[in-house]
Structure formats: C-alpha cells, structure tokens
Amino acid sequence: MHSRHPEIDPQSLSETDEQRELRTVLRDFFTETSGPEDVRKQLATPRGHDEALWARLAGEIGVHGLAIPEEYGGSGFTFAELAVALEESGRALYCAPLLPTVVLAAFALLNSGDRQACARHLPRIADGTLTATVAGFDDTEPGIGAEDGASGWVLRGAADFVLDGAGADLIVVRAQTPHGARLFACEPTTGTCVRTPHRVLDETRRQARVEFRGAPATPVGESGEVTATLDAGRAALAAEQVGGSGHALEATVEFVAQRRQFGRPIGSFQAVKHRLADVLVALEAARSASAYATVCVATASLQLPVAASAAAAVCSETFRLATAEYVQLHGGIGFTWEHPAHLYVRRARSGEALFGTADQNRARLAELVALVPRSAA
C-alpha cells in the first residue's frame, strides 16, 4: 500500500535558476527552429524530423544527456532538467523522437542496472548519434519471445505501435524467456527485423509495427521489470502536455484580444472569459501534477507510481480541453488545415492513448492508494 501523504520537499517543486535559464534558451531555440511551418516541412522528410536540428539540440544545448550520468557521457543532471526540455518541446510541437530515445530507452537501460549496456548505448544517446525506442512493454500485447541458440539470443514475435519503430537505431525489447521476462537490446537489421510504419493520427510522433524474425539481441539486466520506466514515460508525456496546453492557451488569449466583433474584442465577452478561465484553472492543476511526478522520477521516490498515474490522467485531459478551445475560439480559421491548431489537437488526442487512457490511470491510481481492491479495478 502506498502512503497517501506526499514525501517530497515542497521546495523541490519550484524551478531553480538553472532550470529557468534552460527554459529561456530552449524557448528561443524552438521559436527559431520549430515553428508550425518548420514542423510541416520536417514531417515531409524520410525520418519525420530535421536530423541536423536533432544534432544541434544534443550538441549545442545537451538536452539528450541531461538525465544521463556523467560516467555514461551525460551531463549528470536529473529528470527535473529533462522535464523542462520536454515541456518546451511540447509547447513547440517538436517532432523528433525525444520521448522514446531520451526517456523510454535511456531510462530502461539505467533502470536495468546493466553497466555494460549503459556504457555501450547511453553515450551515443547523449551525443545525439543514436535514436532508440522500446518494444514489448505493454502486457496486453501478444508478446515477444527470446531464444538462446548456439549463436546467442534471438527475438521472435511482434510489437505494434512502437514509437519511432521504423527509424530507431536501437530497440530495447521486453521478451519472454523460459525463465520469465527479460530485457534485450536489439539493433535492427534488414531481414531479421521487419518494420512497417503506421499511418497515425499524430504525424509528429511516428509509430510502426515491428516484427522480429530471429533478430540477434543482447540481454540487458537480469529482469524484465519496466514499471519505473513506464512511469518515467508518463511523467515525461505529462510535461509535454503541459507545454502544449500552455501554447494553446497563450495563442487563444492573443487571438481573442485582437479579433473584434460588434465593435469590441471577443475576449471581452463574459462567455469567452469563462471558457479561458476554465482552461487556466485546468492548466495550473496540470502544472502541479506534472511537477510532482517530475520530482518523483528525479528522486526515485516510492510515490512515483501514484504521481505518474495522477499526472497522466490530469495532464492528458487538460491538453484535450486546451486544444478544443484553441480550435473553437479561433472560429472558422481554427478548423482549417492551414492553422496550427489541428496539429496540437492531433498530438493531444494521440497522447491520450499512450501509457494508458485517463480512465485506466485513474483505475490504477485507485488501486495504488487502496480506494478499491486490486482485483476490482
């Protein structure tokens, strides 16, 4: 049973001077390089993002290595600094695979405790030369099996809707062995790994079906435990959603202050004020939930499962509300393909399905705090 009382120092929920400086640098960077037209251009490229921009983000600002220890080529900061980068990337709708690479794959390696695997892969993640993802972490899928043959371990089976599955250089796979689940590192090769891109709602976050047909793999760690990694993913996604919600609210407030009707700005109408106030209240709640989950990841708190599920539920619903008002309060122009609002709507709706829906995370939260018996959820 998890304690109902937070164990986090309230001071740690506030941004440090370094984090504020990082936010300023990243906001300027994304404003310059990842505007709506830039995003559309990047979506048309083979990898779905600007690879030169990805290298700059890793090399000039060091985003990829923020939460990676110095011994593995990172900066040795914490998830709190990485969350700032994720929030700003969500605000700008940056479409490179930050979430699967620097959160899911990197934390899967770190959480495995396998120093050899970390030393092999994390330096390349930190310097931006390696993109990575995870597969088989969802227990609802048929699963992937691993066989230990004469020439080493090989993987067989398939995983669907793998983030950046068609392009990632490394896949951290959770596979079943005769002795239970275990993690493996697989560098996909043609013939033994068939990757089929999906046409998905949110084109800024590519997904694919990955089929392993005797793909060579290297064991990582001793177990297949992935709960902490998935909770880090929930916290990371929540930070992105806070950033996207913030953009939607700011853009809408700016628009209603300029758009005039009946001789006055539409933002002066009471009904419009109420709707924007509802978004602001929801956004402040989402910021709090995200900040708490972020600190729990950064400090490896026992409260992480509770904080991560709470943030997942609150932040996904806030993003959905903020983007709905983004479209509605822009009137007719908000419904056009030319306006960036629809890109944010797609990101919001797609994100609702990652790491469990809001209802699924509420059910998990109820179990964790013992509101309902585990078997009843």
Q: Of 258-262, 324-328, 333-337, 341-345, give the lowest mean pLDDT range.
A: 333-337
d(CA 227, CA 170): 20
d(CA 338, CA 257): 21
CA angle 242, 197, 206 (to 5 degrees): 15
Q: Please say if the pLDDT value at position 49 is more than 80.
A: yes
Alpha-carbon dihedral of residues 30, 31, 33, 36, nearest 10 degrees?
100
DSSP per-residue codes, 44-90: TSTTSS-HHHHHHIIIII-GGGTTS-GGGTS----HHHHHHHHHHHH
| Amino acid 377: pLDDT | 46
pLDDT in tens, 117-174: 999 999 999 999 999 999 999 876 668 999 998 889 999 999 999 999 999 999 999 9
| Amino acid 143: pLDDT | 82
How far is it between the farthest Cα atoms of the chain?
Answer: 80
d(CA 211, CA 144): 9
* Burial zone of 126 (CB within 10 Å; 0-12 exposed, 13-18 middle, 19+ buried): buried
Run of H or E including 158: strand 152-163
Phi and psi at residue 14, to the nearest 5°: -90, 150
pLDDT in tens, 176-189: 999 999 999 999 99
| Under 8 Å between Cβ of 239 and 90 | yes
| Amino acid 91: pLDDT | 97
Q: Of 145-154, 245-254, 287-296, 317-326, give the lowest mean pLDDT range.
A: 145-154
37: its two tokens:
């037209």
Q: Which residues contact 310 (CB under 8 A, 6 or more apart)?
A: 289, 292, 293, 361, 365
Q: Return mean pLDDT, the chain.
A: 93
**Residue that has been written with the tokens 């995370």 in this structure:** 361
377 or 111, which is more confident: 111
| Amino acid 110: pLDDT | 97
**Residue that has been written with the tokens 């990652």 in this structure:** 354
Q: Of 10-24, 84-98, 211-225, 283-297, give the lowest mean pLDDT range.
A: 10-24
| Amino acid 374: pLDDT | 58
Q: Please say if the pLDDT value at position 373 is more than 80.
A: no
DSSP per-residue codes, 346-374: HHHHHHTTTTS-HHHHHHHHHHHTTSS-G
Closest to 213 measured CA to CA, from 262, 292, 314, 144: 144
| Cα–chain center distance at 341 | 20
At 74, the pLDDT band (50, 70, 90 cuts) reads: very high
| Amino acid 4: pLDDT | 52
At 320, the pLDDT band (50, 70, 90 cuts) reads: very high
Helix boundaries (H) for the chain: 17-33, 36-43, 51-56, 79-92, 98, 106-112, 115-126, 227-258, 270-298, 304-328, 341-351, 358-368
Closest to 107 measured CA to CA, from 130, 85, 132, 86: 132
d(CA 244, CA 323): 8
**Distances in Å between the alpha carbon of 362 and those of 122, 286, 317, 347, 367?**
33, 15, 12, 21, 9
Q: Please say if the pLDDT value at position 372 is more than 70.
A: no
Q: Please say if the pLDDT value at position 220 is more than 80.
A: yes
Q: Of 8-17, 140-149, 264-273, 364-373, which one has max mean pLDDT?
A: 264-273
d(CA 158, CA 193): 9
Q: Please say if the pLDDT value at position 38 is more than 80.
A: yes
Q: Which residues contact 361 (CB under 8 A, 6 or more apart)?
A: 234, 309, 310, 312, 313, 355
Q: Please say if the pLDDT value at position 263 is more than 90.
A: no
- Residue 142, classed as helix, strand or coil, is coil
Global pTM?
A: 0.94
344: its two tokens:
């944010």
pLDDT in tens, 79-100: 999 999 999 999 999 999 999 9
